[in-house]
Amino acid sequence: MKILSKLRASIAVAAVLVLSTVMFVDINDAQAEYGDVVINNYSDGAGMRPVVFPHWFHRVRFRCKVCHADLGFKFQAGGNEINMVKIIDGQFCGACHNGDIAWSVENCNLCHSAKPNTPTQVHESTVQKLAQPSGAKK
Ligand code: HEC
Ligand code: HEC
Ligand code: HEC
Protein backbone atom coordinates (compact mmCIF):
# COMPACT_ATOMS: atom_id res chain seq x y z
CA MET A 1 0.00 0.00 0.00
CA LYS A 2 2.28 2.70 -1.26
CA ILE A 3 -0.32 5.46 -0.96
CA LEU A 4 -1.03 4.61 2.66
CA SER A 5 2.62 4.76 3.68
CA LYS A 6 3.02 8.05 1.84
CA LEU A 7 0.03 9.37 3.75
CA ARG A 8 1.54 8.17 7.02
CA ALA A 9 4.79 9.86 6.17
CA SER A 10 3.12 13.19 5.46
CA ILE A 11 1.08 12.98 8.65
CA ALA A 12 4.32 12.41 10.54
CA VAL A 13 5.92 15.40 8.85
CA ALA A 14 2.92 17.56 9.67
CA ALA A 15 3.04 16.43 13.30
CA VAL A 16 6.73 17.33 13.55
CA LEU A 17 6.04 20.73 12.00
CA VAL A 18 3.23 21.47 14.44
CA LEU A 19 5.35 20.29 17.35
CA SER A 20 8.35 22.39 16.38
CA THR A 21 6.18 25.48 15.94
CA VAL A 22 4.79 24.99 19.43
CA MET A 23 8.28 24.57 20.85
CA PHE A 24 9.55 27.61 19.00
CA VAL A 25 6.79 29.79 20.40
CA ASP A 26 7.41 28.39 23.88
CA ILE A 27 11.07 29.29 23.77
CA ASN A 28 10.30 32.81 22.67
CA ASP A 29 7.68 33.20 25.37
CA ALA A 30 10.56 33.37 27.80
CA GLN A 31 11.52 36.67 26.22
CA ALA A 32 8.13 38.28 26.54
CA GLU A 33 9.63 40.76 28.98
CA TYR A 34 11.30 42.29 25.95
CA GLY A 35 8.02 42.56 24.07
CA ASP A 36 6.99 45.73 22.33
CA VAL A 37 5.71 48.46 24.59
CA VAL A 38 2.57 50.35 23.63
CA ILE A 39 2.64 53.86 25.09
CA ASN A 40 -0.69 55.63 25.27
CA ASN A 41 -0.82 58.17 28.07
CA TYR A 42 -1.69 61.03 25.75
CA SER A 43 -1.85 59.84 22.14
CA ASP A 44 -5.49 58.80 21.88
CA GLY A 45 -6.54 61.90 23.77
CA ALA A 46 -4.62 64.00 21.25
CA GLY A 47 -6.11 62.21 18.24
CA MET A 48 -2.90 60.33 17.41
CA ARG A 49 -2.49 56.58 17.19
CA PRO A 50 -0.73 55.20 20.29
CA VAL A 51 3.02 54.65 20.11
CA VAL A 52 4.62 51.24 19.61
CA PHE A 53 8.12 51.04 21.03
CA PRO A 54 9.86 47.92 19.71
CA HIS A 55 11.94 47.12 22.76
CA TRP A 56 13.74 44.08 21.42
CA PHE A 57 14.75 45.94 18.25
CA HIS A 58 16.36 48.66 20.38
CA ARG A 59 17.84 46.54 23.09
CA VAL A 60 19.90 44.46 20.70
CA ARG A 61 21.43 47.72 19.44
CA PHE A 62 22.02 49.56 22.71
CA ARG A 63 22.88 48.62 26.27
CA CYS A 64 20.09 48.89 28.82
CA LYS A 65 22.12 51.60 30.53
CA VAL A 66 21.94 53.95 27.54
CA CYS A 67 18.19 54.34 27.94
CA HIS A 68 17.44 53.33 31.49
CA ALA A 69 20.29 55.24 33.14
CA ASP A 70 21.71 57.86 30.78
CA LEU A 71 18.39 58.87 29.17
CA GLY A 72 16.34 58.30 32.32
CA PHE A 73 13.63 55.97 30.95
CA LYS A 74 11.91 54.35 33.95
CA PHE A 75 11.45 50.56 33.75
CA GLN A 76 7.71 50.82 33.38
CA ALA A 77 5.43 50.79 30.37
CA GLY A 78 3.81 54.20 30.32
CA GLY A 79 5.88 55.27 33.34
CA ASN A 80 7.54 58.19 31.60
CA GLU A 81 5.74 61.40 30.87
CA ILE A 82 6.79 61.62 27.25
CA ASN A 83 5.44 64.25 24.91
CA MET A 84 6.49 65.78 21.62
CA VAL A 85 7.94 68.95 23.12
CA LYS A 86 10.39 66.84 25.12
CA ILE A 87 11.16 64.63 22.13
CA ILE A 88 11.89 67.58 19.86
CA ASP A 89 13.98 68.99 22.71
CA GLY A 90 16.17 65.87 22.50
CA GLN A 91 14.81 63.98 25.51
CA PHE A 92 13.59 60.36 25.56
CA CYS A 93 13.09 59.05 21.99
CA GLY A 94 14.38 62.40 20.75
CA ALA A 95 17.88 61.68 22.04
CA CYS A 96 18.29 59.41 19.00
CA HIS A 97 15.37 60.12 16.68
CA ASN A 98 16.85 63.40 15.59
CA GLY A 99 17.93 62.59 12.04
CA ASP A 100 21.41 61.84 13.32
CA ILE A 101 21.51 58.55 15.26
CA ALA A 102 18.12 57.49 13.87
CA TRP A 103 15.45 58.91 11.57
CA SER A 104 13.87 62.06 12.86
CA VAL A 105 10.65 63.12 14.40
CA GLU A 106 8.69 64.01 11.28
CA ASN A 107 8.09 60.29 10.64
CA CYS A 108 5.03 60.40 12.88
CA ASN A 109 3.52 57.14 11.72
CA LEU A 110 6.65 55.08 12.36
CA CYS A 111 6.18 55.68 16.09
CA HIS A 112 2.43 56.32 16.24
CA SER A 113 1.64 52.96 14.70
CA ALA A 114 -0.67 51.16 17.14
CA LYS A 115 -4.36 50.65 16.56
CA PRO A 116 -6.37 53.48 18.10
CA ASN A 117 -7.51 52.79 21.67
CA THR A 118 -4.77 50.23 22.38
CA PRO A 119 -4.03 50.78 26.08
CA THR A 120 -0.51 51.22 27.46
CA GLN A 121 0.97 47.75 27.82
CA VAL A 122 3.87 45.41 27.16
CA HIS A 123 2.69 43.68 24.04
CA GLU A 124 4.09 40.32 23.20
CA SER A 125 4.32 40.93 19.50
CA THR A 126 8.04 40.17 19.67
CA VAL A 127 6.98 36.55 19.93
CA GLN A 128 5.02 36.85 16.73
CA LYS A 129 7.86 38.63 14.99
CA LEU A 130 10.46 36.06 15.95
CA ALA A 131 8.16 33.18 15.13
CA GLN A 132 7.74 34.29 11.52
CA PRO A 133 8.98 31.66 9.09
CA SER A 134 12.43 32.46 7.76
CA GLY A 135 12.38 34.44 4.57
CA ALA A 136 9.39 36.48 5.71
CA LYS A 137 9.91 40.18 5.31
CA LYS A 138 10.93 41.98 8.48
C1 HEC B 1 10.43 58.67 17.72
C2 HEC B 1 9.05 58.39 18.00
C3 HEC B 1 8.01 59.45 17.74
C4 HEC B 1 7.81 60.16 16.59
C5 HEC B 1 8.59 60.08 15.29
C6 HEC B 1 6.66 61.00 16.82
N7 HEC B 1 6.19 60.80 18.08
FE8 HEC B 1 4.58 61.72 18.91
N9 HEC B 1 4.94 60.74 20.67
C10 HEC B 1 5.90 59.79 20.87
C11 HEC B 1 5.78 59.27 22.21
C12 HEC B 1 6.62 58.19 22.83
C13 HEC B 1 4.70 59.96 22.80
C14 HEC B 1 4.06 59.72 24.18
C15 HEC B 1 2.89 58.78 23.90
C16 HEC B 1 1.81 58.71 24.93
O17 HEC B 1 2.10 58.68 26.12
O18 HEC B 1 0.62 58.66 24.53
C19 HEC B 1 4.19 60.87 21.80
C20 HEC B 1 3.10 61.73 21.99
C21 HEC B 1 2.52 62.51 21.02
C22 HEC B 1 1.36 63.35 21.22
C23 HEC B 1 0.62 63.55 22.54
C24 HEC B 1 1.45 64.33 23.53
C25 HEC B 1 1.77 65.71 23.03
O26 HEC B 1 2.97 66.01 22.88
O27 HEC B 1 0.86 66.47 22.72
C28 HEC B 1 1.07 63.96 20.03
C29 HEC B 1 -0.06 64.92 19.71
C30 HEC B 1 2.06 63.48 19.06
N31 HEC B 1 2.93 62.61 19.73
C32 HEC B 1 2.12 63.87 17.75
C33 HEC B 1 3.15 63.52 16.88
C34 HEC B 1 3.27 64.02 15.52
C35 HEC B 1 2.26 64.94 14.84
C36 HEC B 1 4.42 63.48 15.01
C37 HEC B 1 5.05 63.75 13.65
C38 HEC B 1 5.29 65.14 13.33
C39 HEC B 1 5.00 62.64 16.04
N40 HEC B 1 4.21 62.68 17.15
C41 HEC B 1 6.16 61.90 15.88
C42 HEC B 1 6.84 59.37 19.96
C43 HEC B 1 6.98 59.85 18.67
C1 HEC C 1 16.59 52.43 23.22
C2 HEC C 1 16.18 52.52 24.57
C3 HEC C 1 16.06 51.30 25.44
C4 HEC C 1 16.98 50.30 25.66
C5 HEC C 1 18.34 50.13 25.03
C6 HEC C 1 16.38 49.41 26.62
N7 HEC C 1 15.16 49.88 26.98
FE8 HEC C 1 13.90 49.04 28.35
N9 HEC C 1 12.48 50.43 27.90
C10 HEC C 1 12.64 51.47 27.03
C11 HEC C 1 11.39 52.19 26.90
C12 HEC C 1 11.15 53.39 26.03
C13 HEC C 1 10.46 51.52 27.73
C14 HEC C 1 8.99 51.89 27.92
C15 HEC C 1 8.91 53.10 28.81
C16 HEC C 1 7.59 53.79 28.74
O17 HEC C 1 6.59 53.18 28.32
O18 HEC C 1 7.52 54.97 29.13
C19 HEC C 1 11.19 50.43 28.36
C20 HEC C 1 10.64 49.56 29.28
C21 HEC C 1 11.34 48.60 29.97
C22 HEC C 1 10.79 47.77 31.01
C23 HEC C 1 9.36 47.80 31.52
C24 HEC C 1 8.44 47.16 30.52
C25 HEC C 1 8.68 45.69 30.41
O26 HEC C 1 9.06 45.21 29.32
O27 HEC C 1 8.49 45.00 31.42
C28 HEC C 1 11.79 46.93 31.41
C29 HEC C 1 11.71 45.86 32.48
C30 HEC C 1 12.96 47.23 30.60
N31 HEC C 1 12.66 48.26 29.74
C32 HEC C 1 14.17 46.58 30.69
C33 HEC C 1 15.23 46.76 29.81
C34 HEC C 1 16.45 45.95 29.81
C35 HEC C 1 16.72 44.83 30.80
C36 HEC C 1 17.23 46.42 28.81
C37 HEC C 1 18.57 45.91 28.32
C38 HEC C 1 18.66 44.50 28.12
C39 HEC C 1 16.52 47.52 28.17
N40 HEC C 1 15.31 47.69 28.80
C41 HEC C 1 16.99 48.27 27.12
C42 HEC C 1 13.79 51.79 26.36
C43 HEC C 1 14.92 51.03 26.28
C1 HEC D 1 19.43 55.19 22.12
C2 HEC D 1 18.86 55.60 20.85
C3 HEC D 1 17.36 55.42 20.62
C4 HEC D 1 16.32 55.78 21.45
C5 HEC D 1 16.38 56.43 22.81
C6 HEC D 1 15.11 55.43 20.74
N7 HEC D 1 15.41 54.90 19.51
FE8 HEC D 1 14.08 54.15 18.16
N9 HEC D 1 15.62 53.60 16.95
C10 HEC D 1 16.95 53.86 17.18
C11 HEC D 1 17.73 53.40 16.04
C12 HEC D 1 19.24 53.52 15.86
C13 HEC D 1 16.80 52.85 15.14
C14 HEC D 1 17.12 52.27 13.76
C15 HEC D 1 17.03 53.40 12.79
C16 HEC D 1 17.27 52.97 11.37
O17 HEC D 1 17.10 51.79 11.05
O18 HEC D 1 17.58 53.87 10.59
C19 HEC D 1 15.49 52.99 15.75
C20 HEC D 1 14.32 52.53 15.16
C21 HEC D 1 13.05 52.70 15.69
C22 HEC D 1 11.84 52.20 15.11
C23 HEC D 1 11.73 51.36 13.85
C24 HEC D 1 11.97 49.91 14.21
C25 HEC D 1 12.02 49.03 13.00
O26 HEC D 1 11.49 47.91 13.09
O27 HEC D 1 12.58 49.45 11.97
C28 HEC D 1 10.79 52.63 15.90
C29 HEC D 1 9.32 52.35 15.70
C30 HEC D 1 11.37 53.39 16.98
N31 HEC D 1 12.75 53.41 16.84
C32 HEC D 1 10.64 54.01 17.96
C33 HEC D 1 11.20 54.63 19.10
C34 HEC D 1 10.42 55.22 20.17
C35 HEC D 1 8.92 55.30 20.21
C36 HEC D 1 11.32 55.66 21.09
C37 HEC D 1 11.05 56.32 22.43
C38 HEC D 1 10.07 55.66 23.30
C39 HEC D 1 12.66 55.36 20.58
N40 HEC D 1 12.54 54.73 19.37
C41 HEC D 1 13.84 55.65 21.24
C42 HEC D 1 17.48 54.46 18.29
C43 HEC D 1 16.77 54.88 19.40
DSSP 51: E
Please write the tens of the pLDDT for every residue from 20-52: 444 444 433 333 345 899 999 999 999 999 999
Distance CA 63, CA 24 (A): 26
Mean pLDDT of the region 52-56: 94
Most confident of 18-22, 34-38, 82-86, 118-122: 82-86
Distance CA 71, CA 120 (A): 20
Mean pLDDT of the region 83-103: 98
**Range 73-89 burial, b when 16+ CB lie within 10 A, else e:** beeebbebebeeeebee
φ, ψ for residue 39 (rounded to 5)?
-115, 120
Instruction: Give the sign of the dihedral formed by CA 34, CA 107, CA 138, CA 46.
Output: positive
Nearest CA to ligand 1 atom 42: 111
Residue 60 clears pLDDT 60, i.e. is over it: yes
Average pLDDT over the chain, rounded to an integer:
79
Q: Which atom of ligand 2 is nearest to the CA of 76?
A: 23
More confident of the two residues 9 and 21 = 9
pTM beyond cutoff 0.85? no
pLDDT recorded at residue 40: 97
pLDDT recorded at residue 35: 82
Pocket test for ligand 1, best of 37, 41, 43 (most atoms within 8 A of CB): 43
